[in-house]
Structure 1
Amino acid sequence: MNIGEKLKALRTQSGKTLKELAAEVDLSIGFISQFERGKTTIDVANLKKIADVFNVTIQYFFDDDSDDQIIIRSYNQKIDKQLNHAIYKPLSSKSTTLTMQPELLILLPTEAKELPKAYTHEGEEFLYILAGTLTLIINDQIYKLYPGDATHLNSQLPHNWGNLGSLPVKMIIVHDSQHRNSEHHG
């Protein structure tokens, strides 16, 4: 949705008419109508007034929050979460109709060079190493994975991974969407 469409959606959901919104933000009905249809632009001060009326930040109008997004542009990837020394960036939409949830995971080096404790959880995982050296533990066996290496495993096997090197490890990880929040602590 563009900025005008987002405004129209907010206004419609709140039950406000063009006339009511125009009176609250001191703009003409025609101007707001044209803005909603993408026929004109708006300055930041007036957009801030509108955002305040609907109790949202200005950023709301610029965020791409589409759950049905098919293409994820590299310049539009956002950090989903940071946990310990790991940065997660989603590589697909968070659509509830999709079963796989791929992420770019960047494991930063740590001072403590100890193996993470293996654990189990529901689901399955796929890993593909893009850069660095990943230390992977599966059933008490230790593996080193290098760029181009991959693994696909049942997450009910005791497993975990970590970055025991001095450079970041970049990898693509794919969970099924039901078990996406099973986080590794290595």
Structure 2
Amino acid sequence: MTLGRIRELRQQQGLTLHQLAGLTGLSVGMISQVERGITDPSLETLRRISDAFGVPLFDLFREDEPEPVTVVRKDARRRVSSPQGQIVYSQVSRTGGRLELLEAAIEPGAASSGERRSHASEECVLVLTGRLRVEVGRDVYDLDAGDSCHFDSTIPHRFVNPHASVARYLVAVTPPST
């Protein structure tokens, strides 16, 4: 995985490796290794970096401006996962658009994040297989395959799988979350 865009964004924003490390809570060495493609960063590492830049996570992978029509082949999708691989996101849409479509697989007992997160977007999640719990604000919604949930992403939220089998789902985000 090449993440040269991180170096480009860091330089555009006039940040040193030390300053970016301070903003993200990551080590200078880790950021340097990610920029040079030496290490494969976790989902949480990428979230911290994209939050520091104020850009959608998958924008870290963007190399050029998108073409008017983009075909994303299944075996060429960009993927990110949690440190233990309990949740894997696969980007279905192109990078750099006003809509982000992700396919996810979440293992039993896993959550999309340790605590509920918010961002300036709206989301719609559609469960493909298994069962998924969607926590939005103080509310909890249990979804079965074929069910969907549309919500304002400025409300802290996360996805949880308290069930015994893997859940697969699609999530559309507009605009892509930062």
- With the shorter chain as reference, the TM-score category is 0.5 to 0.7
| Aligned CA distance change for structure 1 residues 77 and 168 (closer, same or farther; 3 Å) | farther
Structure 2 partner of 1:135: 133
Residue 122 of structure 2 corresponds to: 124
Does the Cα contact within 8 Å between 1:100 and 1:176 map onto a contact in 2?
A: yes
- Correspondence for 1:93: 94
Aligned residues: 111
TM-score, scaled relative to structure 2? 0.54
Q: Matches of 1:77 and 1:166 in 2, distance apart?
A: 30
Indicate the residue corresponding to 1:33 in structure 2: none
Q: Shift of the alpha carbon at 1:78? A: 2.9
Whole-angstrom CA distance in 2 between matches of 1:156 and 1:177: 12
Name the counterpart of 1:102: 101
> How far, CA to CA, are the matches of 1:166 and 1:79 in structure 2?
27
Give the secondary-structure state (helix, strand or coil) at the position aligned to 1:166.
Answer: coil
| Structure 2 residues without counterparts, runs of 5 or longer | 1-62
Residue 126 of structure 1 and its aligned partner are, at CA, apart by 1.2
Aligned residue runs from structure 1 range 28-67, under 5 A? 67=66
Identity %: 18
Query: Deviation digits for residues 127-171 of structure 1, max 9, x if unmatched?
Result: 111011101112312211111111111111232221111211111
Pick the structure with greater CA Rg: 1
User: Corresponding residue for 1:152?
Assistant: 150
For structure 1, the residue ranges without an aligned partner over 5 or more in a row are 1-64, 182-186
Counterpart residue identity of residue 143, structure 1: Y
Structure-2 separation of matches of 1:103 and 1:178 = 10
> What amino acid does structure 1 have at the position aligned with 2:118?
T
RMSD over aligned Cα atoms: 2.6
